[in-house]
Structure 1
Amino acid sequence: MDLYNAFALLLVAAAAFAYLNQRFLRMPQAIGLMMLGLVASLGLLGLARFGVKAVVDLAVLVNKLDFSTFVIQIILGFLLFAGALHVDTRRLGRLRWPVGVLALVGAPLSTALVGGAMYGLLPLFGLPTPLIYCLVFGALISPTDPVAVLSILTKANVSKDLETKIVGESLFNDGVGVVLFVVTLEVALLGSQQVTLTHALGVFARETLGGLALGTGLGLGAAWLLRTIDNYQVEVLITLAVVAGGTALASRLHTSGLLAMVMAGLLVGHFSRSRGVMAEVSQDYVDKFWELVDEVLNALLFVLMGLEVLVLNIPGRTVLAGLAAILVVLVARAVSVAVPLGLLRVRRTFQPSEHSLTILTWGGLRGGISVALALSLPAELPRELLVGITYVVVVFSIIG
């Protein structure tokens, strides 16, 4: 019952904040909801200092929600499928080189740069941290959040090619980033002497290739089923089953469920829009259903991120380290975008636009996925430090 109460509270808060944002602030949903969640949390923290029982009970309810499981295994799977479902796959196909290179080169490069920089900076704040733990932080903070990106891009007046580039890179970047996080965390827990390069590459391949293969199978299977019937209720149910069953299966197979949902969403979206696969009425219902799922879960995610302040312990030194990490992450993002763009310039078929570097750097928002990965860290690591720094960077990324 406590879990139900916590979820009910989250849903009520999301509805209230969404109304206030739409009625008064009129900001992009991701920014408005997180700001209102943060303001509410800070106000409640002030009341908690006076021992207000209702606030203490509220903090207990929020703490009962397993943020990591809730976000990575439930919310993000549905959100990534919904986001990929509406991507223009033909335009994405034309931009496959920039999207692929940005995700596959950018995420590992950013992980290395952030990890190395934080290893040198943290001792300055009296927080010396082993290099492998800094690399774990680099891996969890490098994924850009497609949920936040999609939420904000829908309000921005950017070209369709640039929007596809940013969204496509973000969708695949987070999958690669999560795989890097799994590998670096395994090295941190087992020790570098017990994890060989072959083992690490095997884990990376299993997570990445396995996730892409699973998503391809699910997407093609769902597209075939959708082609053989004409009933929008069943067709919506099939897409729901793909996400719910696919993420559960990916967890059992130890592959990347997030990459699987991106591939499944892209394939279902592509084939469902092909002539003769789905009736126009069914297509309309499926699109509207997933747009609604996207909006509701998006609201829940960013309100939850705001309310997490109630249960996080972030000391002053950690806040200062987080402020330094903001600059580190921005510089690392700029470099990890500039290098792939430089490689792409060699291909005369793709020439980045004048402002690609600036827009891709600032468009690399960090959000729920980074917070969820940080909160999933075990107690053997400096968990409170890494969670605190991550939260500071994420708040700046979305609001700043």
Structure 2
Amino acid sequence: MTFFQILAVVLTATAFFAYLNYRFLRLPMVIGVMVLALATSLIVIGLDGFGLSLADGAARLIAEIDFDDTLLHAMLGPLLFAGALFVNLDDLLAQKWTILLFATVGVALSILLVGLMLFHLAGALGLDIPWTWCLVFGALISPTDPIAVLGILRKLGVSKRLETKFTGESLFNDGVGVVAFLILLEIVAGGDAGAIHVASLFVVEVGGGVALGLVLGLAVYWLLKRVDNYQVEILLSLALITGGYAVSEMLHLSAPIFAVVSGLLIGNVGRRYAMSEHSREHLDTFWELVDETLNALLFVLIGVEVLVLNYPTGALPLGVSAIVVVLLARFVGIGFLVGLLRARRRFSPHSVTILTWGGLRGGISVALALSLPPNPWRDYLVTITYIVVSFSIIAQGLTIGPLIARANADSSNPTSD
């Protein structure tokens, strides 16, 4: 099939699932479309037992979609840019140390704890997955995705500070997680594992992404101040994220960090000082639509990926066990950091629980898993990633609301955080 035909099928399916969810399920849209896509995929697989043989054809169609390339090089940039565009920089700076620790030390702790626990768990199940590949899994599963949970948080009226913690952490730990993943892959492939080399590579990629985001963001801000036409201003924002993201990848800098920094700059400086109210309204509407549409497409793609997964022996019990491993690692990491910060910051009694359960894993983890090079453990890592992500989006996404409601009942102001 041609690219246009594949896009038409995915868009049509996404629109249909979004309609069904709106009319009948009434779930948050990204969760609803994924539930419907996953259920449809499982039904297609089940119909093979009745001799209909639909799964092979559907799997061939899905296999034509390069999921990791589509997400990491086409969708992730606009998604991060759109997310950063609507983050208030003052709120972010007020929480800067908390967010910085969560997105750096928190990610590092998660990688180490997940890698360590998975290594011993796999050994107990008779799977000799090397320690280094367990760390790679820790890196790809550590980035959090707040998209499904933020709508629920806003409806429940949680404080802006708690919402900012979720959003800020996820925006930056995507970039940090991807860099850590690539560094660990290089080490697994026999690259330099020296601490100085790893640290310098990390600083160059992350620092370079920040610098490029500031330089190109300021350049576009300068252009925005010289026009008052919303069509041109929207095109300039599109050029910034697509062109800048491509340049970041060409220069081997952190493209996700570039997307976040440029989005924050345009959202807090460009929109405020270089645009009329009329232009701001159109820009906001455009990027909200891009954000919602791309997220719906992404979660449908996650749902149908079940059709093309291989299920090696032992992967299913390991995947179910990995759910506990990932949650436990986040609970310990967040608990440790909150304990360090309590002397200077006020946290509600339920902060660690809410931040742990609300730290959903999403499409970036699946994309990183699918980008793994061929190796004896690739199918295991892809399968357990899919199991963890599916549980995270559906189970955690649907229960974070009741969890916060219960926290509200247990304390007079539990979500002030």
Taking the aligned partners of 2:361 and 2:274, their CA distance within structure 1 comes to 36
Residue 399 of structure 1: aligned partner: 394
* 1:151 shift after superposition: 5.0
CA shift, 1:145, in A, is 1.5
Q: Which amino acid letter does the alignment assign opposite residue 350 of structure 2?
A: H
Tell me, yes or no, if structure 1 residue 327 matches structure 2 residue 324: yes
1:49 Cα shift? 4.9
* Matched letter for residue 259 of structure 1: I
Aligned pair count? 395
Deviations, residues 314-368 of structure 1 (Å, cap 9, x unaligned) = 246211101111111011001111122122223x3x2222221111111110010
Q: Is the 8 A contact 2:45 2:54 kept in 1?
A: no
Q: What pairs with 1:197-208 in structure 2 (closer than 5 Å)?
A: 197-208=195-206
Alignment of 1:374-385 (within 5 A): 374-380=369-375, 382-385=377-380
- Asked if the contact 1:85/1:266 (under 8 Å) is kept, the reply is yes
SS in 2 for 1:230: coil
Q: Choose the corresponding residue for 2:355, options 360, 364, 370.
A: 360
Matched to 2:276, the amino acid is: A
Q: Which residue of 2 aligns with 1:318?
A: 315
Within a 5 Å distance, the mapping from 1:159-198 to structure 2 comes to 159-190=159-190, 194-198=192-196
Q: After the TM superposition, which of the residue ranges 52-61 and 23-32 deviates more from structure 2?
A: 52-61
2:320–2:387 contact (8 Å) kept in structure 1: yes
User: Which residue pairs with 1:27 in the alignment?
Assistant: 27
Give distance in 1, aligned partners of 2:205 and 2:350: 34
CA contact (8 A) 1:107 1:143 kept: yes
Specify the code of the residue in structure 2 equivalent to 1:26: R
Q: State the percentage of identical aligned residues.
A: 53
Cα shift readout 1:86-108 (whole Å, capped 9, x = no counterpart): 11111111111111111111000
Partner of 1:218: 216
Matches within 5 A, 1:1-400: 1-49=1-49, 52=52, 55-150=55-150, 152-190=152-190, 194-274=192-272, 276-315=273-312, 317-346=314-343, 348=344, 350-380=345-375, 382-400=377-395
Give the conservation status (yes or no) of the 8 Å contact 1:314–1:388.
yes
Runs of 5+ consecutive residues of structure 2 not aligned to the other structure: 396-417
2 CA distance for matches of 1:147 and 1:381? 33
Quick check: 261-270 or 27-36, which moved more? 27-36
Q: 1:197 & 1:182 partners in 2: Cα distance?
A: 15
Describe the SS at the equivalent of 2:278.
helix
Instruction: Please identify, of 51-60 and 358-367, the stretch whose mean Cα deviation from structure 2 is larger.
Output: 51-60
Cα–Cα, structure 1 residues 220 and 313, in superposed 2: closer, same or farther, change >3 Å? same
CA–CA distance in structure 2, aligned partners of residues 150 and 207 of structure 1? 29
**What TM-score do you get using the length of structure 1 for normalisation?**
0.95
Q: Which moved more, 1:82-91 or 1:155-164?
A: 155-164
TM-score, normalisation: structure 2: 0.91
RMSD: 1.6
Task: Confirm or deny: 8 A CA contact 1:365 1:397 kept in the other structure.
Answer: yes
Kindly provide the amino acid, as one letter, of the partner of residue 351 in structure 2: S
Q: 1:384 to 1:326 in 2, by over 3 A?
A: same
Q: Give the unaligned 5+ runs of structure 1.
A: none
Give the C-alpha shift of residue 272 in structure 1: 2.7
Q: Return the offset for 1:146.
A: 3.8
SS state of the match for residue 395, structure 1? helix
- Distance in 2, matches of 1:22 and 1:306, equals 18
1-structure distance, mates of 2:162, 2:153: 10
Deviates more, 1:43-52 or 1:223-232: 43-52
Moved more, 323-332 or 198-207: 198-207
Q: CA deviation at 1:155?
A: 4.3
Contact 1:80–1:147 under 8 Å retained in 2:
no
Mapped to 2, the partners of 1:82 and 1:115 lie a distance apart of 32
Q: Which has the higher mean CA deviation after the structures are superposed, 150-159 or 368-377? A: 150-159
Any conservation in 2 of the 1:28–1:155 contact (CA below 8 Å)? no
The CA distance in 2 between the partners of 1:384 and 1:10, in whole Å, is: 25
Distance in 1 between the 2:72 and 2:91 partners?
A: 28
Provide the rounded CA distance (Å) in 2 between the counterparts of 1:155 and 1:237. 32
By how many angstroms is 1:382 displaced?
1.1
Q: In the aligned structure 1, how far is the partner of 2:152 from the partner of 2:190?
A: 39
Given residue 66 of structure 1, which amino acid in structure 2 is its aligned partner? D
Q: Report the CA distance shift for 1:3/1:10 in structure 2 as closer, same or farther (over 3 A).
A: same
Tell me the SS of whatever aligns to 1:190.
Answer: coil
Return the alpha-carbon distance in structure 1 between the equivalents of residues 103 and 379 of structure 2. Answer: 29
- In the alignment, residue 215 of structure 1 is paired with which amino acid? G
Contact 1:115 1:137 in 2 (8 A): yes
SS at match of 1:236: helix
